Amino acid sequence: MADSFETLTAVGALTGFSEGSLSPEALIDDCLVRIARDNPAINAFTCVNDDARRLAAESARRWQAGAPCGPLDGVPVTIKDLTLTQGLPTRMGSTTTSSDGPWELDAPITRHLRNAGAIVIGKTTSPEFGWKGVTDNPLHGITRNPWNTDLTPGGSSGGAGAAAALNLGLLHQGSDAGGSIRIPCSFTGTFGIKPTFGWVPQWPASAMSTLSHLGPMTRTAADSALMLSVIAQPDARDGYSGSPRAPDWLTPPPSNLHGWRIAFSANLGYVEVAPDIAQQVEQAIAHLEALGATVERIDPGFSDPLKTFNTLWFAGATQALERLDEQQCSQLDPGFLDIARRGQDVSLSAYLAARRERSELTAHMAAFHKRYDLLVTPTMPIAPFKAGHNVPPEGPYRDWMDWTPFSYPFNLTQQPAASLPCGLDDQGLPVGLHLVAGKYQDLKVLHAAHLLERCLPPLTPPRVAPPYA
C-alpha cells in the first residue's frame, strides 16, 4: 500500500483502513513528508496543520477498535485559504488581512468534513480574495503547475488543483464563482465539480453572492461523490442554502449510457479553441458514443454572456474596497484593484439588467436540458501559460474571463458542471472535458464522469522539479 500513496484514492484509503491493511498514521505521515518534499516547487500550501499526526493517531485507535467516528475518519483533506478553518490562518492571500487571528471558527464545509472524521492537513493557496483564474497573490507569491513549474495551475483554487495532481491529501476543497474549480482541474489533470448552487453551504457569504459554489477537487469522480456526501448538508448560517433534499451522492453509476441524449458543442458557437485541445475532446466524445449515448453536435444557443458576468463580478469585487482604507488598498494586487474600481462604475440599472439577463439565460438552459441529459464542451480553450501572469503574455486578452469562456456561463445559471481529464495536448499538458447538466441533476455529471474514467488513461504529472529558483 505504501508504494501507491501517490495515486491512492479516498475510497481506497477507507477500504484499507477497514481491512487493516492501511493505517491513518502511515497515510498522514506520507502526505506530510511529500508536502515537505514537493511543495517548495509548486507553492500549493499556505500552511500545514502541526496537529495532523496526533489526529491520525486518534483515528488509528478508532479504526483498531472498529469504531470510526464518521465516513471520512482518517482521510487527509485540504481547505482553500478563502475558507474559515479553526486553528489555521485564513488570510485570503492578502497582506491586508491580519496574521494575529484568532482562528476560532470553522466554515460549514470545514466543520462537516471534521465531523466526518477527515483530517485537515493544510490550507491551499488562492489569488487575493479569489479574484482571478490563476493563482498568485501578494502574501504567498506564485503557485505553479506540477506538470511544468514554469506554468500556472489556473485558479482561483490553484493550490488545491496542484495538491490534487500530486495527491498531497486525498480530498481538496475548492470554490468556483466563474470557473475556479474547473480551470485548475483542467490545467492540472484532476477532477472537480461545481455542484448545483445551494447544495454545499457557504458562510460567510461570498462577495460574489450567488455566483459562488463550493465543491470537491479530487483525482476521481467517486472521491468527489464521497466528499459531496459529507459536505452537501444544510447549515443555518447560509442564507442562500438550497433544498435540504440533496440526492444520494453515493448512488452507483449505471453500467452504460444507453438512453442518454448528450449535446456536444465544440465551441459554444463563438469560442476559438486550440486545435490540439479540440482533438483530445473529440476523442473523448467517441467514448461517450461507445458507452451507448446518443451524441448530437449542437450549440446550446446563447451568445457570449461575458458582459453580464462581468457586471456582476466587478460589482462584487467592489465590496472588498468598502472594507479597506486607502493604505490597505495600495497593498492590493493591482489587477484586483482595477476590477474593483471598475465595479464602482456599475450603475444600479446596469446591475439590474445583468440580473435579468442572467435569469433569461437560466431559463434558456433549463429548457435545453429538457432535451439533453448533458452538455459537453472543452473545459478550457487554451493550454496552461506562464505562471505569474493574469492572461497569456502573447494573447489578445485583457482580463482572466476572456480566456475562460466555457466556465462562467454556468455560474450564471447555477448548474452543476465538472472538468474531467481526457488526455494530453501536443505539449504533454492536461486537457479537460467539461460536463454540464441541468440544475439538481448533479448525479448525471458524476455518473458520466465515472464511466468515462474507465475509458480514459489516468493522468499523473512527472516528478516535480527541485524548488523553482
pLDDT at 237: 93
pLDDT at 245: 75
450 bridge partner residues? none
383 within 8 A of 189, measured Cβ to Cβ: no
pLDDT at 425: 98
Return the C-alpha cell found at 23. 493505517
Q: Per-residue pLDDT tens for 315-366?
A: 999 988 888 999 999 999 999 999 999 999 999 999 999 999 999 999 999 9
pLDDT at 3: 53
Say how many domains are in the chain: 1
- What pLDDT band is residue 244 in, cutting at 50, 70 and 90? low
Percent residues over pLDDT 70 in the chain: 97
Q: How far is CA 265 from the centre of its chain?
A: 22
Integer Cα distance of 10 and 72 in angstroms = 8
Pairing of strands 141-142, 136-137: antiparallel
Does residue 460 lie in a domain region?
no
pTM for this prediction: 0.97
- What pLDDT band is residue 210 in, cutting at 50, 70 and 90? very high
Q: Per-residue pLDDT tens for 219-239?
A: 999 999 999 999 999 999 998
Judged against a pLDDT cut of 50, whether residue 449 lies above it is answered with: yes
Judged against a pLDDT cut of 90, whether residue 241 lies above it is answered with: no
Instruction: Using the structure block, give the residue that is written with the C-alpha cell 506530510.
Output: 32
pLDDT at 83: 98
pLDDT at 332: 95
Q: Per-residue pLDDT tens for 354-409?
A: 999 999 999 999 999 999 999 999 999 999 999 999 999 988 999 999 999 999 99
Q: Which residues are catalytic?
A: 80, 156, 180
Does residue 20 lie in a domain region?
yes
Percent residues over pLDDT 90 in the chain: 92
pLDDT at 460: 86
Does residue 467 lie in a domain region?
no
Does residue 204 lie in a domain region?
yes
Does residue 355 lie in a domain region?
yes
pLDDT at 323: 86
Does residue 464 lie in a domain region?
no
Angle at which helix 10-19 crosses helix 221-231, to 10 degrees, equals 80
pLDDT at 464: 58
Does residue 21 lie in a domain region?
yes
Query: The domain that contains 58 carries what CATH number?
Result: 3.90.1300.10
pLDDT at 468: 38
pLDDT at 246: 80
pLDDT at 320: 82
Q: Per-residue pLDDT tens for 94-147?
A: 999 999 989 999 999 999 999 999 999 999 999 999 999 999 999 999 999 999
Return the C-alpha cell found at 420. 474531467
pLDDT at 321: 85
One-letter amino acid of 191: F
277 within 8 A of 383, measured Cβ to Cβ: yes
Averaged pLDDT score across all residues of the chain = 95
**Sheet holding 430-436: strands in order across?**
45-48, 119-124, 76-80, 171-176, 213-218, 191-194, 417-424, 430-436, 374-378, 261-264, 294-297
pLDDT at 2: 46
Domain that holds residue 276: 2-455
Does residue 466 lie in a domain region?
no
462 burial class (0-12, 13-18, 19+ CB within 10 angstroms)? exposed
Angle at which helix 275-290 crosses helix 442-455, to 10 degrees, equals 100
